Amino acid sequence: MLASKIDFHYLNFSDTFTSITFKVSSMEFSIQLSADYPDKSYGGDQVYGDMLNQAILADRLGFDAVSITEHHLINCLMMPAPLQFAVKIAAHTERVSILTSIVVLPLHDMRIYAGEVVVADIFTNGRLMLGVGRGAFAYEMERLGIPMNETQSKFNESLAVLQALLSEEEVSWDGEYYKFDPLTIMPRPVNPGGPQMMMAVMNPEGIYHCTKRGFHIQTTPLSGNHQMLMDQVNGFSRAKEEMGETGDGLTLSVSRVGFATKNDTDRKKKIEAANRYYSRFDNVFTGPGIVDKGMVRELPRKQTIEELGDSLLIGTPQEIIDKLEPYAKLGIDRVIINVNFGCDAQETLDGIQLFAEEIMPYFSIHCREVKSAAG
């Protein structure tokens, strides 16, 4: 779990961490399933078949979780029905947790969605963790009727409505976006409040406040920014320390693009693929949102391919271990490895297997050794 006391003035990602007091447990790993749809001729059935195979392999190899995005109208991170796919995954796996990473609450009517969440929780046998957020791509949000300048306020109210519907037997509402007479969601959640919820948030103070409200956290340091990551971890650990026992069990997940490669030639090939992915991602995330009949156009990027490679978790097993070791020492609970950048189906499966065989055991053993030495 996270450090109970960290002196961030001493924390440098090349240091030996001798000035840090921390609690350590095994850092877990999740695979963000690859919903990349580079060519319409490939077919959505093949894309989702590939994703299911990735989930089955991750379950067999000991990954803690798999995660599913929600995006509409575009071929980048393409998954318009995450709860349905979560149920599909549960039917073909045995133990892996299934994270929505994330569902976009402003796009849904909570009076309907709450019931869908309850049913998905039942059909996944309690393995669902509902990650929620406000939406990031103006292209899809505005075409689906939600102006970007309203996403935060609608998300806040949607989340409040959803929590009320999952926690209280009868709910009425009189707000800005929802107005309804008393109603009861049926069936009732198996556990009061429904499945565990995870909040997607990057701002360190936002992480602090969301943790204090009892949410698991998913975050990411943009471009691998180490100072941002330290600030994010500090926000989470500060909240948990103030919460005492009530914060036990809350987790911090960090999402990073990553891929385990066999050698330097393979590494360069994967970084080139990631660069092409980001030329589309940036287009709809911070760029003009130029989309041609569902296909996000690749646009030139300011970041060099060398800078991109340095910032990602793409490399040989030892290179990735070196980049991830500070994460474990910070006490991050889970790293979500995003392999969603256009590698072919077999390459993706091979990368997942290499990661499980060569990288995951190091952190399990290493964390136990550190814990033993500290205790």
- Say how many Å lie between the first and final Cα of the chain, rounded: 15
Note the pTM of the prediction, 2 decimals: 0.89
CATH H-level superfamily of 8-374: Luciferase-like domain (3.20.20.30)
pLDDT computed for residue 25 by the predictor:
54
pLDDT computed for residue 11 by the predictor:
34
pLDDT computed for residue 226 by the predictor:
84
Residues with Cβ within 8 Å of 301's Cβ and at least 6 positions away in sequence, in order, are 275, 278, 279, 282, 308
pLDDT computed for residue 6 by the predictor:
31
Closest among 77, 35, 97 to 348, alpha carbons compared = 35
Cβ 364 vs Cβ 26: under 8 Å: yes
pLDDT computed for residue 358 by the predictor:
97
Q: What is the number of residues in the chain? A: 375
pLDDT computed for residue 313 by the predictor:
96
pLDDT computed for residue 366 by the predictor:
55
Phi, psi angle pair for 2, to nearest 5°: -75, 160
User: Residue for token digits 């030639």?
Assistant: 265
Domain limits, the chain:
8-374
Supply the DSSP symbol for 176: S
Radius of gyration of the chain (CA): 20
Cα 144 from chain centre: 23
What is the per-residue pLDDT across 185-205, written as a single tens digit (0 to 9) for each?
A: 999 999 999 999 999 999 999
Q: Which two tokens stand for residue 134?
A: 């406000």
pLDDT computed for residue 222 by the predictor:
74
Helix, strand or coil for residue 71? strand
Segments of the chain with pLDDT less than 70 = 1-25, 223-224, 365-375
Q: Distance (Å, rounded) from C-alpha 140 to C-alpha 345?
A: 27
What is the per-residue pLDDT across 301-323, written as a single tens digit (0 to 9) for each?
A: 999 999 999 999 999 999 999 99
pLDDT computed for residue 156 by the predictor:
97
- Mean pLDDT rounded to a whole number for the chain: 90
